[in-house]
Amino acid sequence: MSQHVSSRISGFYKRCLEERLHAIQALGLLDEEALAHLASGGGLPTAVADRMCENVIATHALPLGLALNFRVNQRDVLVPMAVEEPSVIAAASNAARMVRRSGGFSGEADPPIMTAQVQLDDVPDAEAAAARLEAARASLLAAGDAAIPRMVARGGGCRDLEARVLSAELGVLVVHLYVEVGDAMGANLVDTVAEAVAPLVQRIAGGTLGLRILSNLTVRRLVRVTATVADDALGGADVASGIARASRFAELDPYRATTHNKGFMNGLDAAAVALGQDFRAIEAGAHAYAAIGGRYRPLSTWERIPGGLVGRAELPLAVGTVGGATEVHAGVRAALQLVGAKSARELAVVLASVGLASNLAALRALASEGIQRGHMRLHERKRALGGASTAGGEPAAPPSGEGKRFAAERAEAPLAVHQAGGGT
């Protein structure tokens, strides 16, 4: 997004779908194909779907919305999010608005280094074999590069090697090859490297060849983001202190850390789906990283500073702006145009910022009115639109007690969205 385009679009949530599309069109971010795709409703043709996976019988749609107010590394960003859950987009937008007042999110991503693994079993003297493999580093990296010449021509390729003895007694050894994959997510590239190098690894080390595949725990492809937010933006010092105490709770207790991280991933996953990323790999890597020290910990933390809070997050994040769904899915191409990331590293920082915003929104709700009040108002808004019905088409009766509890809130639903930050 160019510097003169703002991610704050006043009253966006009040507009009808056609007016929202006109507002986005006026920003000049989308080409004609992307605009036509969104104007048509954003569906995926079944002929395209049939090429994307197997046994296709139809397509399954998710709502596509925009999180607003994000400013990341001094650039305003519109964040497309595909999600069925009410409140996720509104909450992220609201938290981004709070952080924006203090300058927005800042972040950096490591070079796009993926990890290829080659497994060996029954290796005689595994420690000595590991030493031989380390000594053969140059030839092994060259063999890996030879398998991916086009990536090497674009400036990528194999960068490092590590031999790890997992069990000297059983002779289990694994070789890691670290491969720079440019703006791709890189799974296919590193799988190619692993398979190409495996025979040479076996000749050097001996033993029985096992798996040859990437690892989704991409510890050399981390992203780190930070944000500050003022007490008055959050609703006062008491709320800010409550957020910090909730964050400390997650640091001390893995049961809480699990739900804390789920709140972080709520926003990140929704943006990843909209942008055609492998959210399953992202989830696996994030949770493995949270437990890498032997105890499951939060991916993000919030600490008190004078007059506010500072939030920090760090996690592995392998994403791509080329390849995969970007080649065939018009909606993914439109989403990438909206977010405007020029590289995979820039995209990773945006996605991690969305995670941190979602985490802040959840903790603020927990530290103030509780998570249910606003969340369930938005659920009821979905029900009021006819989401719950009987097989005969009549509106379904709410579960016992829900009707009375939410009846008065139906009229408040649009206000709830506004207060949650859905576009203001």
Q: Which of 183, 231, 278, 409 is catalytic?
A: 278
Query: Which residues pair with residue 67 across a beta bridge?
Result: 79
**Running DSSP on this structure, what letter comes out for residue 85?**
S
How are beta strands 172-180 and 157-167 bridged, if at all? Answer: antiparallel
176 in catalytic set: no
What is the rounded distance in angstroms from the CA atom of residue 145 to the CA atom of residue 196?
9
What is the rounded distance in angstroms from the CA atom of residue 298 to the CA atom of residue 228?
18
375 in catalytic set: yes
Q: Which of 14, 262, 382, 418 is catalytic?
A: 262
What is the rounded distance in angstroms from the CA atom of residue 315 to the CA atom of residue 169?
33
Identify the helix (H) or strand (E) that includes residue 307. Answer: none
Amino acid at 167: S
Q: Under a CB-based contact definition with an 8 Å cutoff, are residues 398 and 406 in contact?
A: yes
Q: Which of 85, 162, 232, 253 is catalytic?
A: 85
Distance of alpha carbon 253 from the chain centroid: 24
Burial of 209-218, coded b for 16+ CB within 10 Å and e otherwise, reads: ebebbbbbbb
What is the rounded distance in angstroms from the CA atom of residue 36 to the CA atom of residue 43?
11
Q: Helix axis angle, 413-420 relative to 371-382, nearest 10°? A: 130
- For residue 220 the two structure tokens come to 């050399």
What is the rounded distance in angstroms from the CA atom of residue 341 to the CA atom of residue 85?
25
Q: Which of 37, 260, 287, 375 is catalytic?
A: 375
278 in catalytic set: yes
- For residue 411 the two structure tokens come to 């009229």
Q: Under a CB-based contact definition with an 8 Å cutoff, are residues 225 and 351 in contact?
A: no
What is the rounded distance in angstroms from the CA atom of residue 181 to the CA atom of residue 193?
11
What is the rounded distance in angstroms from the CA atom of residue 179 to the CA atom of residue 157?
5
Burial of 17-36, coded b for 16+ CB within 10 Å and e otherwise, reads: eeebeebbeebebbeeebbe
183 in catalytic set: no
**Running DSSP on this structure, what letter comes out for residue 375?**
H
Instruction: Point out the residues that are catalytic.
Output: 85, 262, 278, 375
